[in-house]
């Protein structure tokens, strides 16, 4: 079956003389503008549309596989495919991702999610970009969700490497050692990406920072 499927897609290019480079507005207008749509991603969208609506030998129920390298933008392609299916009347989607791959791809970025609504994610190279990204995602969710509008509690998550790089000029490794009780050499490893903190250490760092934040809020000058 797998070999048959591969053979089918090997002949798919021959079935189409030329894919249209122009993408539908409902994809262009609803994909995060911070992420440029690459040429091979446009081809992937057009292949999906062709297989779904035009290809006469399409197997039913439809099963489609994109085999792509890490960092090639599979998440963006899946978002576009979901938009295409939504336009055709589909409403129920299950989107599985490998969390390890996501962490590896975005270790130098900032990620965000809506705590009280599943399926809303954002990211960017700076915290401000992450905020704009999550707001765009919320607008997209509200636009295509027929339920009543919701209030969102947004949490911004940084991995240890990103946090230490972003606050490098504020927290020294020695200061973090005093705050957390974790050896400053460990923070050096975390900052360079050589190691990632275990769950226990991550929670310890988070608790120490939250405690410091509460103390700072209570200060009056």
Least trusted range by pLDDT, from 17-26, 34-43, 68-77: 17-26
* Beta bridge partner(s), residue 114: 154
Query: What pLDDT digit, counting tens, does each position of 124-176 carry?
Result: 777 777 778 777 877 777 777 655 555 656 666 777 887 888 788 899 999 99
* Beta bridge partner(s), residue 123: 111
CATH number at residue 173: 1.10.260
pTM for the model: 0.44
Please give the full DSSP string across 168-198, using - where no structure is assigned: TTT--HHHHHHHH---HHHHHHHHHTS----
Assess whether 100 and 30 both reside in one domain. Answer: yes
Structural tokens at position 70: 């890490």
Assess whether 45 and 10 both reside in one domain. Answer: yes
SS3 state of residue 155: strand
Assess whether 128 and 170 both reside in one domain. Answer: no
- The whole-angstrom separation of Cα 171 and Cα 177 is 10
């Amino acid at each position: 079956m797998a070999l048959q499927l591969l053979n089918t897609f090997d002949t798919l290019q021959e079935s189409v003389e030329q894919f249209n480079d122009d993408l539908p507005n409902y994809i262009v207008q609803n994909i995060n503008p911070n992420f440029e749509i690459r040429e091979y991603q446009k081809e992937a969208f057009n292949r999906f549309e062709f297989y779904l609506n035009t290809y006469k030998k399409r197997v039913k129920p439809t099963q489609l596989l994109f085999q792509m390298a890490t960092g090639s933008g599979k998440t963006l392609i899946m978002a576009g495919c979901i938009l295409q299916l939504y336009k055709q009347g589909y409403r129920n989607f299950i989107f599985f991702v490998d969390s390890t791959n996501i962490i590896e791809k975005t270790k130098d970025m900032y990620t965000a999610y809506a705590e009280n609504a599943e399926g809303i994610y954002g990211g960017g190279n700076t915290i401000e970009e992450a905020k704009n990204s999550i707001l765009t995602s919320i607008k997209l969710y509200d636009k295509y969700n027929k339920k009543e509008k919701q209030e969102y509690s947004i949490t911004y998550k940084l991995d240890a490497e990103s946090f230490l790089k972003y606050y490098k000029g504020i927290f020294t490794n020695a200061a973090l050692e005093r705050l957390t009780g974790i050896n400053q050499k460990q923070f050096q490893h975390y900052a360079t990406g050589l190691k990632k903190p275990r769950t226990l250490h991550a929670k310890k760092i988070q608790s120490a920072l939250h405690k410091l934040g509460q103390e700072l809020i209570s200060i009056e000058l």
